[in-house]
Structure 1
Amino acid sequence: MIRDRSPARPAAAPAAPAAPVAPPRRPGGLGPLGRRLFAAFVVVALASVALLTAAALVGADRGLSSARQADRLETASRVAAAAADAYRAADGWPAADLSAARSLAAGAGAELTVRDADGHAVTGGSGAGTGAGTGAGTAGHGMSGQEHGSYGHGGSSGPTATASVLVDSAAVGSVLLRFPSGATSGGLSVAWGWVTVAAVGALVLALAVSWFVTRRLTAPVVRVAATARALAAGDREARARIDAPGELGDLARAFDAMADEVTRAEQARHRLAADIAHELRTPLAALQAGLEELRDGYADPSPERLAALHDQTLRLGRVVGDLGELADAESARLSLRRAEVDLAAVVRAAVADREAELRTAGLTVRTRTESAPLLVYADADRLHQALGNLLSNAARYCRPGDTVTVGASCRAGEAVVEVADTGPGIPAEELPHVFDRLWRGTRAQATGGSGIGLAVVKELVTAHGGSVGAASGPDGGTRITLRLPTAGTPTAATRAAATPAAPT
């Protein structure tokens, strides 16, 4: 009986408590920012309505007072004119009939007091006294016409109005009208009612607009925050997708673009990890099998056997190097250092660097470039790297005696670089896939290629805003064509892309 003598495993440590997750927002809720913003709007609305209400009431009171004052003075002027007619008809105050003046005063709801030039009360020839107004305030003096007068308050009896009685431009007396105090409140109460209704309506409208504006401003922010929490929780498909005006719309679109980039980067990392595992599995398995045979004595450590194992290590190193180049190429948009460069000079430099490798492979190299500078706005080092990969591919897959021709020219406003060879060519069914990452065609499988070189070329050229294509003739030969925009005035977006990212 076999017993397990392995030491007992310690009990698993309790899992760390999960980070608290903020409760989901109620749909349509304002959130803390929205509530504070709405409260600020409410305070502003209340203060504005209160200030305007107070101003309206004060203005209405003063306007009504001025209008009533003008009416009283006008009434006093008419009463004074009637008293002057009575004085003129009776040739004096003792026999003057003041009934017409009293009728005018009564029609205005006022008590009439008539005084002569010496300030004594006049009863009038009608026999009806006017002494009821003897307690009135002092009559006005020095009035120059019937349309003039003064306005005042006679004790607690209410407001008064006076006017001079003029006969042939001479003041023969004065009239005093005393109005009841209750007559001043009717118009003001009506103004109070209308102002109150208007204030309530304005306040309700201000609150409704404040609520709408607050929802309009905070809804995108709340949505972006909820989307950010969903992304942090692992939902890589979460997007804000908000069509908001101005800066809020820009914020939402920038956030969605950032989320897309994060998702793309994460997918690229996963894909790269899978690709690395796929590419390293074969040489590692061969190395492991060979070393186990040597260790167990199933094979002798002969030079041939050791050379085969060494070749596998070289393949591993080449794959790792190619993967590093591919990672650099995929991030080329963040690391391009653009400048105005002569593409023809870059082509000649790349050919010069790889000429020894090409001649060692038994190939004939030809370069065809224009004498005039072929200017592009690009990163010369990255273009040199792309051309070097194309030339290395030609050295690897062409047969001894083949010819490699590299040309650079300007066509239809584009800078065109062609790398053509007379090698065996690429089958037509494989042409659409030659720039795919880690794709290996018939030639690559036969020669042990990693399937990364052309993918690096495509990434580098695409990062410059260009395009790359491949063609192969029926009789063999391959032509790789790179197209780049010619140099012009760099746009703001181009300059931003050319700025290297800060190291992390």
Structure 2
Amino acid sequence: MRISLKLAVVFALFGAAIAGGFQYSRVKSARNEMYAGQSRMAEVAVSAVKAMLEASRAQAGDYGEVSRGLRELQGSGIASVLVKDARGRWVVWRAGTAAAQRQTHPGLPLDQVTDGFYDVEAPVKLGRRGQGLVQVSFSISPLEAKLRALEADAFGSGLMAFLATTLAAWLIGTWFGTKLEQLVPKLEALSRDPERFRSLKIPSTGDEVVRLVAAFNRMGEHLKAETHARRLAEREKAELSAMLVHDLKTPLTVIHSGISLLQDQLSQDQVAVERRSRPVAPVKPGMPLRRKFDQPNRRTFELLKMSADRLHRMVEDVLQLSRLEEVAELREVAFVDMVELARTCAKDFQLVVAERGQSLRLDVPEDGVPVRVQGDGPLLRRVLDNLVHNAVEHTPPGGVIRVRLEATSAVARVEVCDSGPGIPAEARADIFRKFFQKDLKRHVGNVGLGLALCQKAVQRHGGKIGVEDAKPKGAAFYFTLPRVSGEGQPQLA
């Protein structure tokens, strides 16, 4: 609801309450004054009738003069005059048709009268007839007509006050709302892109709006400067990281290749030494050479190769994550068969899990129907490789790693389960955050980027990723991707 409308409603209700209370008090006061005046007039009329009845002729039984006087009084709002003697007989009476046929109610207050007549009675001396009673009835129709006119006038005045208050409130609210509406687009633009902020012109009204606009300008300029400095720092950090990663990638490749060549060369030298020292049985075609390494050298080369592999994985994770954060679109978009992807991944890890004394089990649909998704095939393979690699790292010797693919008509779900210690419940909310390591087993070369890369990649494909408890123990990482039919040309989401 607009602020002008809110102010109009609030002030209208407030004005209506004030105007209604004032008019109610006014009508009530006027009614009380009219009732008091009617009561005084009734007392005066009764006193006049008593004076006429207590005159010398009336006391002697001559009521002619009284009748003429009553006729004159009847025109001044008196509806009827009745005089009874001590025995209850009518001595003098004067009444209209309506007044003569009604039951009188002397002593009834004016505000309780329902038949339109106000009755007053008083004792009177009737000479030889003794003590009598005079009853005077007054028609209050003119009084009620005046009160109705006064109430109508009060209602009209209250309505005009209500409308005037509403109009004034609406005008004030509109003026104030217009001032605020100038800030709303700027606030929205400031939240979207603080660096494009432009200061508002400060009005010359000298009121609170001036202070509000000035404070908004200061806030916008501060956010603009802070955002610019932060983006500059992030850009410099990203450029530095990219430069370091690229500079590391080449020597790491050389180191990795050199270790492999050196290991092969030492193996060949060891075989040559053994052949010169003793006779060697002829080697049959297809039979591998029996290469012997002494145990310290073998272990040294294994550690070197493992460290080089992990450093290479770290560099690739940083590069992939940087690309995902810098570019909003996927580099390659094609139809990817998740069944084939899972099988290839499981095949490539078989040698690794065998060396560690582990076993890897693959569970994919065997109906021959491809489970296709749309996306970057190498990037999805990297996601699955990272999850399987983590499962291998956290699974003890003799443990089992399971890769399971399930599919519905709309979704493909990939799950990687290990039989390790599992993920603490308090760490699951942050496990996909970059550099997160708390309460997790640290491995050489693990800087907490693998799962962050997985999350970014899956979300970029329109999917979801999460972690659950595996049964009977361990962690189960899963991700889901929208399934497609594979018809037509793949397109960017």
Establish whether TM, by shorter chain, passes 0.5. no
TM-score range, shorter chain: 0.3 to 0.5
Q: TM-score, normalised by structure 1?
A: 0.37
